[in-house]
Structure 1
Amino acid sequence: MFTTPTRPNDPSVVSFRQVSKSYGTGAGAVHALAEVDVDVRRGEFTAIMGPSGSGKSTFMNVAAGLDDVTSGGVFLDGQPLHTMDDTARTMLRRRQVGFVFQSFNLVPTLTVAENIVLPFQLAGHRVSPDEQQWIDHLVHVLGLTERIGHKPAELSGGQQQRVAIARALAPRPAIIFADEPTGNLDTRSSSEVLQLMRSAATEYGQTIAMVSHDPIAASYADRVLVLADGRVVADHGRLSPQQISQLLLTAEGVPA
């Protein structure tokens, strides 16, 4: 049986300390994040929401080390992203970050099995027996056993997203960033994918940060962060879709 990896004692996987991010200069500057001070806690499923232009995509990009901050500090699994160069950030992402995208981002010429182990190959890491047992477990739990030799074009949208989730979970990263992961799925597939992500947090202790505009999707999360004008304006535990909709209306300046 595969072993559960040990995690650091730090309760936060991502920490923002007075983080600001601006694009451009002078009167035309866009302030995407403004002095954000927040932690993404280990083992939780966090939904990041907000109106269009609120800064939620910038939040994810900065948290994953895909973009530099203008000021402040960002720590990923205890490492200071804001002081690292591009090479160091890339190496940290390969070890500690998984991604799940709306468009699946699977390699069309690779099979399901090959797509799942791709992160190991990119990192130049040979899959160990324990890691292979974990991958086999994921394939079984995600219902992909009969599809393991198929290529993405031979799968439904829901199956492709399950492969993407398996690929993200396989290296057992510190955090998985999910960017509108159900945006291209039907209602049934969306529900299945969201339940799988919730199970990853509750059963395996996986930290997940999901950017979404959908109150139903966010209702699966343990925590809901709402951004507006580059600031965190609401921070709540698990909420119903109706409660989340009211929070979003308030963030947009519409009376709830």
Structure 2
Amino acid sequence: MQVTTCGRRAGPALLPSVVGMDTSTDPRAPIPPVLAFRGVERVYGSGPGAVRALDGVSVDVVAGQFTALMGPSGSGKSTFMNVAAGLDDPTGGEVWLAGHPLHALDDTERTLVRRDHVGFVFQAFNLVPTLSARENVVLPFELAGRAVTAEVRSRVDGLLESLGLLDRAEHLPSALSGGQQQRVAIARALASEPRVVIADEPTGNLDMRTSREVLALLRAAVDDHGQTILMVTHDPVAASHADRILVIADGRLIADHGRMTPGSIADVLVSLEVGAA
């Protein structure tokens, strides 16, 4: 099944010809996607026991949208995210992130691309326990050797305030609730103004009320600040916050939907499970 994009069937792989193009003088010129897969494969092992985690995936993720990636367990969601972030190498095909050909870069080069262009939000928060909330948000700047200027500190405090954390900025993670820790992780992901935020089950460890608050914050990052978010989730309610829902099964993208209700998303997932039975 061929995935459609914006109501049209995907055309030929044109991305390499437009990546890096200066569109400032021609508003009609195509704008490269933030993330693009072109015939991407990822195979683990060899011979009869080989596992094809990604099988010829081609898709674009455009700027300023909230995209959710869903699918059954073992469908290839985690592999998709790892390849998208340059944490894993594709076996075949091309992966372009913020105009950079991840498939052609070495480990050091991919690390620099992640540092400069990607923010991460994980299910497990991944905060440094000995640093305060504010210090955790600033940490990526320090690790990258970037000056923590007055402008940076102002932006960090603005994020903390917008997330309801400014009065908790000097607290260690152990003194914060799970929801507050995830908000710190979101602030850390957004502080450097990355091209894309990759969120891996960001509400997996949160209760229902806190999950909805976190999803509302991610939604606001898109609507109010033009952020691009790519989120893996198994939760139909979480996915219903997204502008676009990609469905993967057996390593292939099998559906590409616009905004949907939680019930409609659940029906799609149930149909997959029934079809696989």
Tell me the TM-score range normalised by the shorter chain.
over 0.9
Unaligned 5+ runs, structure 1: 1-6
Distance 2:274 2:252 in 1: 14
| In the alignment, structure 1 residue 34 sits paired with structure 2 residue 55 | yes
Matched with 1:139 is 160
Within a 5 Å distance, the mapping from 1:1-256 to structure 2 comes to 10-254=31-275
Is the 8 Å Cα contact of residues 46 and 225 (structure 1) preserved in structure 2?
Answer: yes
Q: Secondary structure at the match of 1:203?
A: helix
Question: Which has the higher mean CA deviation after the structures are superposed, 233-242 or 8-17?
Answer: 8-17
Shift, 1:137, TM fit:
1.2
- Bigger radius of gyration, 1 or 2? 2
Distance 1:81 1:252 in 2: 33
Shift, 1:95, TM fit:
0.5
* Matched letter for residue 246 of structure 1: D
Aligned length: 249
* Deviation sequence 1:122-179 (CA, Å, 0-9, x none): 1111123333222121011000111010000000000000000000000000111101
Question: Which has the higher mean CA deviation after the structures are superposed, 134-143 or 20-29?
Answer: 134-143
- Normalising by structure 2, we get a TM-score of 0.87
Is the 8 Å Cα contact of residues 15 and 74 (structure 1) preserved in structure 2?
Answer: yes
Distance 1:158 1:36 in 2: 34
Is the 8 Å Cα contact of residues 226 and 251 (structure 1) preserved in structure 2?
Answer: no
* Deviation sequence 1:181-205 (CA, Å, 0-9, x none): 0011011100000000000011111
Q: Secondary structure at the match of 1:117?
A: helix
RMSD after superposition: 1.4
Q: Secondary structure at the match of 1:88?
A: helix
Distance 2:117 2:168 in 1: 27
Unaligned 5+ runs, structure 2: 1-22, 25-29
| Percentage of matched positions with identical amino acids | 61
Question: Which has the higher mean CA deviation after the structures are superposed, 8-17 or 145-154?
Answer: 8-17
Q: Secondary structure at the match of 1:12?
A: coil
* Matched letter for residue 262 of structure 2: P
- Normalising by structure 1, we get a TM-score of 0.94
Question: Which has the higher mean CA deviation after the structures are superposed, 96-105 or 122-131?
Answer: 122-131
* Matched letter for residue 162 of structure 2: V
Is the 8 Å Cα contact of residues 15 and 38 (structure 1) preserved in structure 2?
Answer: yes
